[in-house]
Amino acid sequence: MTPSNPGLSHYQAAEVAYAGEEKRLSPSLDLESLRIVLIHDWLVSMRGGEKVLEVICGRFPNAPLSTLLYIPGSVSNTIANRPIKTSLLQSLPFSRSKYRQYLPLFPLFAELSRVRDCDVVISSSHAVAKGMVKKGRDSRPLHICYIHTPMRYIWDRFEDYFGPDKVGALASRCMFKPVAIMLQAYDRRTVDRVDVFIANSHFVADRVKRHYGREAEILAPPVDVHRYVALTRSPEDWYLMVSALAPYKRVDQAITACARLGRELKIIGSGPEEKKLRVLARDLHASVQFLGFVDDACLGEYYRKARGLLFPGVEDFGIVPVEAIAAGCPVVAFAKGGVLDSMTPKTAELYSTETAEGLQEAMVKFESRTFCEKELRNRAIGFAPERFLRRFDEILGQAIYDWRDRLPV
């Protein structure tokens, strides 16, 4: 989904509210005197990670940005309106459309693009961005990493991306597994380049601890809830999914559960599983509409009218359920992952059996309940961008204070 107006950002939506609140940043901290550089893995769309980056970019409007690949026009003006330095990947054949096929070379691109000559680096990382920092003997620069997840396709979800049923048994074992092992080694080797990890959920913080042996501050990503809280709720008799059509999203479970219950399902999003899911819906005689991508204005209308949002996958955080409850739309969610940081029994019907049957049973319970719209919206406000900015400043301020204390005199 793309912003309905790329000139209006998450940061701009939060700016007025943030300016009106007391900033808890240390009064002795002078950010203007610090050379700050931002890093992000790649800039090819406006998804959840880019929306976090957008808020950080708005907080530091003059900070240059380093990335492996940048497709002009793919991100908001708040991100694009600054110097953007790219890697060797930018000039390689078919990199704009086939950049993922260069995955084995990502560590090389990152090493050749390491930033230096600055005081503070803030990276937004889900792949190799956290490695793109040149650390010096004097502990410069200070590196704050907002980690969306350790690379899921080499750690916890290898089978979902490169398992035998996805790429073939021989390719999985002889080609992709060695690449994953190499990337794991690089991922671990770059951990010491980070001074402070900030994880987007307790779920991700646990993975940072397990894979990297490091503790992480926890700060949920900013969600543009103000776009949805003013919408008037008008529920109809159908369910909604907003998701990439990928295996781990468990869209097949939602289709199966709705077919068995005779419920209508509308699916926003696209992805490699679309053809397979359309066949499943046809074979089950399910009432399913595949809507593709929609802009934010249309998305709000779907949230406003859906009976409930189905969220059967396991996500690192999950921005979609927060957007839904901001619009007054309650959720049916599998009780694992980052969703446990955002949803409560008052905002969602949570279930613990990761099957279509488990979702089906949860939907039956959901339909017997009444949710308080005010409670839903109030819960969503806790994830507004201004809340994110305030806590981010607190973490940054403490990190800079500790870093300066460590610098040689």
Domain ranges for the chain:
28-148+190-222+384-406, 225-381
Distance CA 213, CA 209 (A): 4
What class, spelled out in words, does domain 28-148+190-222+384-406 have in CATH?
A: alpha beta
Ramachandran angles phi, psi of 122, nearest 5°: -120, 110
**By CB neighbour count within 10 A (0-12 exposed, 13-18 middle, 19+ buried), where does 93 fall?**
exposed
Contacts of 247 by beta carbon, 8 Å cutoff, 6+ apart: 160, 166, 273
pLDDT at 19: 45
Nearest residue to 389 via CA among 23, 20, 121, 9: 23
Neighbours of 347 (CB within 10 A): 24
Residues of the chain with pLDDT under 70: 1-30, 137-139, 408-409
pLDDT at 351: 97
pLDDT at 145: 98
CB burial readout 380-404, b (16+ within 10 A) else e: bbebbbbbbbbbbbbbbbebbeebe
- pTM for the whole structure: 0.87
DSSP element (H, E) containing 39 = strand 36-40
pLDDT at 21: 44
Length of the chain: 409
Nearest residue to 47 via CA among 354, 388, 326, 315: 315
225-381: same fold as 28-148+190-222+384-406? yes
Distance CA 149, CA 41 (A): 12
Residue 268, token pair as written in the block: 């926003």
pLDDT at 29: 54
Tokens 């040689």 correspond to 408
- Strand partners of residue 145: 123, 197
Say which amino acid occupies 142.
L
pLDDT at 68: 98
Contacts of 123 by beta carbon, 8 Å cutoff, 6+ apart: 38, 39, 40, 129, 130, 132, 133, 143, 144, 145, 146, 194
Distance CA 308, CA 310 (A): 7
Which overall architecture, per CATH, does domain 225-381 show?
Answer: 3-Layer(aba) Sandwich (3.40)
In the DSSP assignment, the letter for residue 172 is I
pLDDT at 139: 66
3-class SS at 237? Answer: coil
